[in-house]
DNA sequence: TTGAAAGCGCTAACAC
DNA sequence: GTGTTAGCGCTTTCAA
C-alpha cells in the first residue's frame, strides 16, 4: 500500500505538504503542487479513509435512514436516496444506508462510533421517537418531513399543506364545487405521519374557504381498494366533479375505475394528484399534479447538512418548505354545465 | 469522548484487555470480562470506527452498487438493498451505497481508500466493464447476476434460464402448444443484461424441445406498450394460449389488455410470470409465477462475502444459482379443448 | 490470563 | 511556503 510518506519522499517534500496539497488548507507553491500531484498519480496514492477519519475526526460519510414500511411509495424513496448519494458525492462525501428497523440504536451507533459525520432521516412522524435522540447526538442531522415540534431541528419537505390547497384552488378555479381527497393508506394516518395529515388540512381548509363540499378517504395501495374508493365516492357524493389523489399506488387504478363506472376524465371528473412528475406524466391520461420533488429534497438535505458541518458557517434555517408547483395536464377541465 | 483507555482505567485492566474482551480474540477470565463489560456500560463507551479501521485494516463496511437505469424494476432493487443491509448488520457490518453512475472510479475509490472491506455489485451485464477492475482489486466482491465469463468471480442469481424453462414446462403440462414471452424493455437486451437473455434462452429452448410454437417480445415498461404488445401477440399468433411475462411493470396492464381484447385469464389464455411473489400474489388475478427471491439473493451475497473475508475460510463456490420455485395461482389452467 | 508498547496512516499545530 | 512531530484511538505482537 502506498502511503503519504511514500508520496512525500517521491516528490521530495514533507508528508504535511502532501496533506496540504490534497486538502488545500494552506497555500502551496505552484511548483510544489505540481510535483506532489505528479507523484500521487505516478504512485497511485489513495489516502486511507480510516487514518483520515482518526486524525481529522471527519469520516466524510453521511448516514441515510430510509423507510421501508408499508404505505410508502418505493420509487420515491429510491429516487430520494439516489439524489442524496449523488449530491453527497459532489461534496466529497459517501452515504451509509440504514434501515428504519435499525431504529434509534442504529442512529446512536453510527454517530457515537464516528462512523458518520451527520445524518439524514426520512419519513419523520409527527411525534417521532427519534427526535430526542437526534437532538442529543453531537452530530448534525436533517429531517425529511416535519414533526409536530421541530424546534432545534433542521427540516426539509414539500409544503404538503400548500400542495393540498393548491390542488383545491385549481379545481375551484375550474368551477368545481364538490371535491374529494383520496389519500394514503390508513396506517399512514394512524402512524400520524406528518405529510399525510398536512395534505388533509390544506385540502379541507381550502375547500371550506371556497365554500366547496369536501370529503376525505384514506385508501389502501391496491387496485381493488381504488375501485372500492371510486364506487364509494360516487355513491356518497353524487355531485362530485373534482378529485385530489395523494397516493401514488392507486392513481392509475382509480382513474380506470372512474372510467369503468362511466365517468370520463376530465369530461365528468377532474383529477389532480400530489406525486412524482414522472408518474403523473406517464399515465394514459396525463394527470395535472403538484410535483413531489424527491431529487430536490435530497439535494437540499445534503446541502443543509454540509453547511451545518462547516464549522464557520452561519446557522441554517430550521424549516425549508418547498412551495408546490402545479403542472396542468390532461386530467382537469372546467366543470361541465350542470345538466349539460 | 470515552476511549478505550478510560474504560481500562475504570475497570482496572489494560487497554488490550478491553480490546480482547470486546473482540473475543483471546480468552478472558469471567471475572475480568464482567468488570470490563460493566465499565463499558457505565461509561457508555463506543469504539471509534476510524481508529479501529486503521489499526485492524478492517472497516466493517460493505459497498453496495445499486442500479438505477431504466428498465429495472425499482422495488426489486430496494428489496434487495434492504436484505443486504439487514444481513450485513447481522454480521456486524454496515453498508455504503454507491450508484451505478459512480462507475468504475467509485469502486476503485472505496476499495483503495479502505473505506470498505468488500463489494456487492448488482445488475451485472454480460460483458461488464467493471469485471477486470473487480478482479484487480485487493478486496473480495460478489456479483448479483452472471457475466459471460464469470471466471474467478463469485456470482449469485436466480437461475433465469431454468426459470424460463420452468414456466414453459408448466404451460406445456397444461396442454398449451403456442406460447409467447413478453420480456424486458428493449434497452435491457441492448445492454445485454445477462438475466434477460437467459430467460429468453430457457424459454425458447424449452418450447423447442416440447415442440411448441413460440415467440419473444421485448416490451417497454408502460401500460400503453403492454396494450400494444397484447394486440400484436394476438394478431401474430392467433393460436396463442400461453404467455410468460418477465417484466414486472407490464404484468398487470398486460392482463388487463388481454381481457379487454376479449380473452379470459386463465380461460382463454394462461399467464405465468417471473417476478417477486408479492407482486404476483397481489394482482386482481393472482398470477402463477417463478419467484424473484430478492431477499434471499441479498442474504446469499452477504453470506458469501463474509466467508471470503474470513481469512481462514475455505474457498466459496464461484456460482450460486438459485433454482426456480414456481407457485401455481389463478392465472393458469389447462388449455380449453380447441373449438370448445 | 494479562500488560506494555509499537505501530496503523494521516492531520494539524508549531516552528522556521 | 515548507518541515517536524505529536497525537488521533485502536489492535496486536511480544513478553510475562
- The secondary structure of chain A in percent helix, strand, coil, rounded to multiples of 5, reads 45, 15, 35
Residue for grid cell 399512514: A188
Give residue B114's region: left, alpha or beta (phi > 0; psi -120 to 50): left
CA neighbours closer than 13 Å in the CB half-sphere of residue A53: 26
- Among residues A246, A242, A233, the alpha carbon closest in space to that of A265 is found at A242
Question: Which residue minimizes Cα–C1' distance to D7?
Answer: A55
Burial of A215 (0-12, 13-18, 19+ CB in 10 A): middle
Which residue is closest to D13 in terms of CA–C1' distance? B16
Contact (CB, 8 A) for B309 and B262 = no
Q: Tell me: pLDDT of B90 over 90.
A: yes
Through-space separation of residue B75 CA and nucleotide D16 C1' in angstroms: 59
Residues of B in contact with A70 (CB under 8 A): none
Whether A78 sits inside 8 A of B78 (CB atoms) is yes
The separation between CA B328 and the C-alpha centre of its own chain, rounded to angstroms, equals 22
Share of chain B above pLDDT 90, in %: 82
On the question of pLDDT at B338 being above 80, the answer is: no
Q: Gap from A58 CA to D11 C1', in Å?
A: 21
Q: How confident is the model at residue B74 (pLDDT cuts 50, 70, 90)?
A: confident
CB contact under 8 A, B95 and A96: yes
- B27, pLDDT greater than 90: yes
**Cα–Cα separations (whole angstroms), residue A67 to A81, A109, A125:** 11, 18, 11
SS (H, E, C) chain B: CCCHHHHHHHHCCCHHHHHHHHHCCCCCCHHHHHHHHHHHHHHCCCCCHHHHHHHHCCCCEEEEEECCCCCCCHHHHHHHHHHHHHHHHHCCCEEEEEEHHHHHHHHHHHHHCCCCCEEEECCCECCCCHHHHHHHCCCCEEEECCCCCCCCCCEEEECHHHHHHHHHHHHHHCCCCEEEEECCCHHHHHCCEHHHHHHHHHHHHHHHHCCCEEEEECCCCCHHHHHHHHHHHHHHCCCCCEEEECCHHHHHHHHHHHHHCCCCCCCCCEEEEEECHHHHHHCCCCCEEEECCHHHHHHHHHHHHHHHHCCCCCCCCCEEEECCCEECCCCCCCCCCCCC
pLDDT at B68 over 80: no
The predicted model scores a pTM of 0.93
The per-residue pLDDT for B85 is 97
C-alpha cell at B67: 442500479
Q: Which helix (H) or strand (E) holds A78?
A: helix A74-90
Distance B260 CA to D3 C1' (A): 80
Is the separation of the CB atoms in B182 and B244 below 8 Å? yes
Q: Which nucleotide is nearest to A36 (CA to C1')?
A: D2
For the record, the C-alpha cell of A329 comes out as 395536464
Nearest to A234 by CA among A204, A260, A273: A260
Chain A residues closer than 8 Å to B49 by CB:
50, 53, 59, 113-115
The set of strand D positions with any atom below 7 Å of a protein CB reads 1-5, 7-13
Q: Provide the shortest C-alpha distance from residue B115 to chain A (in Å).
A: 5
Within a 13 Å sphere around the CA of B192, how many CA atoms are in the beta-carbon half?
Answer: 7
- Three-class secondary structure of residue A73 per DSSP: coil
How do residues B279-305 score in pLDDT, each as one tens digit?
999 888 999 999 999 999 999 999 999
Copy the grid coordinates of residue B263: 380473452
| Whole-angstrom distance, CA of residue A264 vs CA of residue B119 | 52
CB contact under 8 A, A77 and B75: no
| Mutation for A interface: B58, B64, B115, most A CBs within 10 A | B115
Q: What is the pLDDT of residues B147-181, one digit of tens each?
A: 989 999 999 999 999 999 999 999 999 999 999 99
Q: Which residue of A has its CA nearest to B100?
A: A82
Q: Do B85 and A97 touch (CB under 8 A)?
A: yes
User: Which residues of chain B neighbour A78 with C-beta distances below 8 Å?
Assistant: 68, 74, 77-78
Per-residue confidence in pLDDT tens, chain A, 340 aa: 999 999 999 999 999 999 999 999 999 999 999 999 999 999 999 999 999 999 999 999 999 999 876 667 888 899 999 999 999 999 999 999 999 988 899 999 999 999 999 999 998 888 899 999 999 999 999 999 989 899 999 999 999 999 999 999 999 999 999 999 999 888 877 665 778 888 999 999 999 999 999 999 999 988 889 999 999 999 999 999 999 999 998 999 999 999 999 999 999 999 999 999 989 998 889 999 999 999 999 999 999 999 999 977 778 999 999 999 999 999 999 998 655 4
CB atoms within 10 A of CB A19: 19
Question: Mean pLDDT of all residues in chain A?
Answer: 93
Chain B contact residues (CB < 8 Å to A): 44, 46-54, 59, 61, 64, 68, 74-75, 77-78, 81-82, 85-86, 89, 94-99, 101-102, 106, 109-110, 112-115, 222-224, 252, 282-284
Round to a whole number and report the distance in Å from the CA of A57 to the C1' of C13: 15
Distance B15 CA to C3 C1' (A): 9
Instruction: Categorize the per-residue pLDDT at B75 as very low, low, confident or very high, splitting at 50, 70 and 90.
Output: confident
User: B204 pLDDT exceeds 70?
Assistant: yes
Q: Using an 8 Å Cβ cutoff, are A254 and A223 in contact?
A: no
Task: Write down the mean pLDDT value for chain B.
Answer: 93
Q: Do B77 and A78 touch (CB under 8 A)?
A: yes
| CA→C1' distance for A93 and D12 (Å) | 31
Q: CB–CB of A326/A288 below 8 Å?
A: yes
Rounded Cα distance, A169 and A321, in Å = 19
Distance in angstroms (rounded) separating the CA atoms of residues A59 and B115: 9
Considering any atom of strand C, list protein residues whose CB lies within 7 Å: A 1, 3-5, 15-16, 18-20, 22-23, 25, 45-48, 51-52, 54-56; B 12-17, 20, 26-29, 31-33, 51, 54-55, 57
Torsions phi, psi for B12 (to 5 deg)? 70, 35
Under an 8 Å CB criterion, which residues of A touch B? 44, 46-54, 59, 61, 64, 68, 74-75, 77-78, 81-82, 85-86, 89, 94-99, 101-102, 106, 109-110, 112-115, 222-224, 252, 282-284
In chain B, residues with a C-beta closer than 8 Å to the C-beta of A222 are 282
Torsion angle of C-alpha atoms A257, A258, A264, A270, degrees rounded to 10:
-130
**Chain A interface test: which of B41, B49, B110 (most A C-beta within 10 Å):** B49
A32/C14 CA-to-C1' distance in Å: 21
Q: Which of residues 35-64 of A touch strand D (CB under 7 A)?
A: 51, 54-55, 57
Amino acid at each position: 500500500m502506498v502511503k503519504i510518506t511514500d508520496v512525500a519522499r517521491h516528490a521530495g517534500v514533507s508528508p504535511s505538504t502532501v496533506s496540504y496539497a490534497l486538502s488545500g488548507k494552506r497555500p502551496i507553491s505552484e511548483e510544489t503542487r505540481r510535483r506532489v500531484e505528479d507523484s500521487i498519480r505516478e504512485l497511485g496514492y489513495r489516502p486511507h479513509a480510516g487514518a483520515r477519519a482518526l486524525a481529522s475526526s471527519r469520516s466524510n460519510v453521511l448516514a441515510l435512514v430510509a423507510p421501508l414500511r408499508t404505505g410508502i411509495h418505493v420509487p420515491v424513496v429510491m429516487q430520494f436516496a439516489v439524489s442524496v448519494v449523488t449530491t453527497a458525492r459532489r461534496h466529497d462525501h459517501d452515504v451509509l444506508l440504514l434501515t428504519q428497523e435499525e431504529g434509534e440504536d442504529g442512529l446512536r451507533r453510527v454517530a457515537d462510533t464516528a462512523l458518520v459525520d451527520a445524518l439524514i432521516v426520512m419519513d419523520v412522524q409527527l411525534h417521532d421517537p427519534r427526535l430526542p435522540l437526534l437532538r442529543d447526538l453531537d452530530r448534525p442531522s436533517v429531517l425529511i418531513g416535519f414533526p409536530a415540534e421541530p424546534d432545534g431541528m433542521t427540516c426539509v419537505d414539500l409544503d404538503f399543506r400548500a400542495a393540498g390547497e393548491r390542488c383545491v384552488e385549481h379545481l375551484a378555479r375550474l368551477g368545481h364545487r364538490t371535491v374529494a381527497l383520496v389519500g394514503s393508506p390508513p396506517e399512514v394516518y394512524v402512524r400520524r405521519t406528518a405529510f399525510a395529515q398536512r395534505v388533509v388540512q390544506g385540502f379541507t381548509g381550502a375547500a371550506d374557504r371556497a365554500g366547496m363540499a369536501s370529503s376525505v378517504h384514506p385508501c389502501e395501495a391496491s387496485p381493488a381498494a381504488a375501485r372500492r374508493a371510486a364506487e364509494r365516492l360516487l355513491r356518497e357524493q353524487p355531485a362530485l366533479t373534482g378529485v385530489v389523489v395523494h397516493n401514488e399506488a392507486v392513481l392509475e387504478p382509480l382513474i380506470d375505475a372512474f372510467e369503468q363506472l362511466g365517468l370520463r376524465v376530465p369530461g365528468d371528473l377532474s383529477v389532480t394528484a400530489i406525486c412524482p412528475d414522472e408518474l403523473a406524466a406517464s399515465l394514459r391520461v396525463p394527470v395535472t399534479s403538484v410535483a413531489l420533488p424527491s431529487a430536490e429534497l435530497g439535494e437540499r438535505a445534503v446541502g443543509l447538512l454540509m453547511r451545518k458541518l462547516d464549522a464557520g458557517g452561519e446557522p441554517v434555517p430550521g424549516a425549508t418548505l418547498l412551495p408546490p408547483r402545479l403542472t396542468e395536464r390532461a386530467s382537469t377541465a372546467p366543470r361541465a354545465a350542470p345538466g349539460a
